[in-house]
């Protein structure tokens, strides 16, 4: 009996939309606060920090879920892939959230 999840186009579209929203939250919470009408409130630095950290955490969580669930069954059962998926999701999240406006920082 096959107990694996089978996603269709709609589910992958929902995942992609979630990644976009969480990326936006991690990168531009001031725009989000302006949209919600909280930009002029006192203590917005704390609120900006909370939104950014939640956006980063949610982006990483959704990306790692995609890397674990949205692969073929043969690849998902491979122990090397299981060990490589988590560091890959960490590296992808850090790279995506550290790049500023399309320019890559040079060390």
CA–CA gap between residue 83 and residue 98 (Å, rounded): 24
pLDDT in tens, the chain (107 residues): 455 567 788 888 888 999 998 888 888 777 767 777 766 655 677 777 888 889 899 999 999 988 888 787 788 788 888 888 889 999 999 898 886 544 444 54
Q: How many angstroms separate the Cα of 58 from the Cα of each of 15, 45, 95, 103?
A: 12, 20, 15, 24
In the 8-state DSSP scheme, what is residue 37? T
What are the angstrom distances between the C-alpha of 107 and each of 96, 104? 17, 10
Of 30, 27, 12, 15, nearest in space to 95 by CA: 27
- Is residue 97 within 8 A of residue 27, CB to CB? The reply is yes
Spans of all domains in the chain: 9-98
Nearest-angstrom CA–CA distance, 107 and 98: 13
């Amino acid at each position: 009996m096959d107990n694996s999840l089978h996603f269709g186009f709609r589910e992958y579209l929902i995942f992609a939309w979630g990644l976009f929203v969480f990326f936006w939250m991690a990168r531009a919470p001031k725009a989000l606060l302006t949209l919600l009408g909280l930009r002029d409130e006192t203590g917005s630095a704390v609120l900006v920090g909370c939104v950014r950290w939640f956006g980063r955490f949610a982006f990483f969580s959704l990306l790692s879920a995609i890397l674990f669930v949205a692969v073929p069954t043969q690849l998902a059962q491979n122990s090397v892939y299981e060990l490589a998926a988590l560091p890959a999701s960490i590296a992808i999240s850090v790279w995506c959230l550290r790049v500023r406006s399309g320019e890559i920082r040079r060390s």
